[in-house]
Chain A
């Protein structure tokens, strides 16, 4: 009486399943690293009991480029293009955060026009990034690309504006230590005006399509809930934190680049679920448009780049500058030893840290819920792995 090894293994599994109490064998399913809903090379290992997620473990590092090490061998200016590649969907915000940190280290004063241009592009970047985030989120909910393509249209116009200003659409490399690389081209402001004029109607269209959609409500409400206490303790930031009701926005809390001069509001959610995150992003786009309007109206004249030596050697010391990137609190921690390159270059990646609570959010839901939750956190793998 001999059993095959397969039979023996299977029997062992059955015994384990029976003694574990629920009488069924869990299935481990790999989502990624190449999977339509993982937004990059991100791998999520979920253990499923039927469709219910029992455990979710993420495996990352597929896009690790060791930027923090590379940056230690390049001068402060040479490091700016790296920051584009960290979060390639919000390159402007990354440029900005790094330049702020470097300026703090070098003690550079930024001219007012540069500050206004920086705010303009940071907010345009937020509009583009949130368009991408919300579009892919609806896609993760199972829509057949329609909202995504509509939102891509807006993003496309923003990227066109980036292109006419600095020649690049995605990895812009536009900010410089002490200002921005180029002044605004003549055709930018009319394009921006047209964009600002068109956006309210577009947003109204999205809201008509999505906000009262019963299926979207059924898919996103009460899913991936996290309490404000847990969110703060898990260092979540950005729309994920604000959706729980915590009004924490670095543009208000720690204004940089003259954000204190602009009137805008911080939308917060109530229940901390996926739908609130979606709504917060929708509302933030409107606030960004408000800021853009004010920037265009009050754009000062003058130089757009402070006089910073290209071969700058900051004094030994350290700096930690943070901005509110579309994904949350994006910080750069630089240590200088007086040399031409940073002694230590560290990026505080909101995408990575927002994933801390992914396991807690997805356990107990279904596989489909886990994917919606992942979509609502809005990760960029370049920033997770760096």
Chain B
């Protein structure tokens, strides 16, 4: 592939990735944010393709777009509505921004500092086989440790998700406190108004 086609693909994919990423920050609606995240991830998958890493690209789509984003949507849908959207009162906004900026600077530093020797060989064709073999043969121990770790995380997540009544009560009272602390308006009564008895209606 000539340079023009490559550059066209690279820059449009990069724009897609970064554009999606910045839209995640801008959108208040969490569901919108997930959709933008998906776009960003698709861009990353495309970038892998330009590097002739089609196995990684396909896996990126399979796992991040097909599975992780759906998982996130599920998590969002399972969250009570009050905590769903990006909060307007961000208490931890400042420190978070600081951490993100630090991480970005260090990543950029690494990226600029590294000597990216371009490989002039043809791309490997049987990547899946090579990755599989190296995972099973050379990196069997880290691979297995990773597997055990994920299983433990799975069990832990289930244990955490099984919220018992006490936790729920604590959670509810904290929410109540937050609601009462918001003194701008009187608490809205969401209990449905009782159905008016209509015994008086008519003659």
Contacts and interface: CB of A to CB of B under 8 A. Distances in A.
B165 interface: yes
B83 A14 contact: yes
B168 A21 contact: yes
B89 A9 contact: no
B168 A23 contact: yes
A15 B188 CA distance: 13
B26 interface: no
Contacts of B178: 11
A46 to B, nearest CB: 16
A2 B178 CA distance: 11
A15 B81 contact: no
Q: Which of B163, B178, B190 has the most CB of A within 10 A?
A: B190
B187 A12 contact: yes
B184 A15 contact: no
B100 interface: no
B2 interface: no
Nearest to A25: B80
B156 to A, nearest CB: 19
B190 A18 contact: no
Contacts of A18: 80, 168-169, 171-172, 175
A17 to B, nearest CB: 7
A4 to B, nearest CB: 8
Given A7-B82, A19-B169, A23-B168, A14 B175 contact: yes
A15 B175 contact: yes
B80 to A, nearest CB: 4
Sort chain A's interface into a size bin: 20 to 34
A25 B80 CA distance: 8
A17 B171 CA distance: 11
A10 interface: yes
A302 B85 CA distance: 81
Interface in A7-46: 7-19, 21, 23, 25
A3 interface: yes
Contacts of A11: 80, 82, 175, 178-179
B88 interface: yes
B89 A14 contact: no
Contacts, number: 68
A176 to B, nearest CB: 38
B118 to A, nearest CB: 52
B81 to A, nearest CB: 4
A5 B82 contact: no
B200 interface: no
Interface residues of B, number: 26
Contacts of B163: 23
Nearest to A11: B82
Interface string A105-136: 00000000000000000000000000000000
A301 to B, nearest CB: 55
A1 B188 CA distance: 16
Interface string B145-176: 00000000000000000010100110110011
Contacts of B121: none
B80 A8 contact: no
B180 to A, nearest CB: 11
B74 to A, nearest CB: 13
A14 B80 contact: yes
A17 B165 CA distance: 11
A1 B89 contact: yes
Contacts of A16: 190
B185 interface: yes
A5 B185 CA distance: 9
Interface in B67-122: 80-85, 88-89
B182 A10 contact: no
Contact of B190 (A1, A7, A13, A19): A13
A1 to B, nearest CB: 5
A13 B79 CA distance: 12
Contacts of B184: 1-3
Interface in A224-246: none
A1 B90 CA distance: 10
Contacts of A21: 165, 168
Nearest to A18: B172
- Which among A10, A12, A15 has the greatest number of chain B C-beta atoms within 10 A? A15
B147 to A, nearest CB: 31
B179 to A, nearest CB: 5
Contact of A8 (B88, B168, B169, B182): B182
Interface of A: 1-5, 7-19, 21, 23, 25
Interface of B: 80-85, 88-89, 163, 165, 168-169, 171-172, 175-176, 178-179, 181-182, 184-185, 187-190
14 contacts: A2-B184, A7-B85, A8-B179, A10-B80, A10-B81, A10-B82, A12-B188, A12-B190, A15-B176, A15-B179, A18-B168, A18-B172, A21-B165, A25-B81
Sorted nearest first, the 3 A-B pairs with minimum C-beta distance are A14-B80, A10-B81, A18-B172
Given A10-B82, A23-B168, 19 more contacts: A1-B181, A2-B182, A2-B184, A3-B88, A3-B182, A4-B88, A8-B187, A8-B188, A9-B190, A10-B80, A10-B81, A12-B179, A12-B189, A13-B80, A13-B82, A14-B80, A15-B175, A18-B168, A19-B169
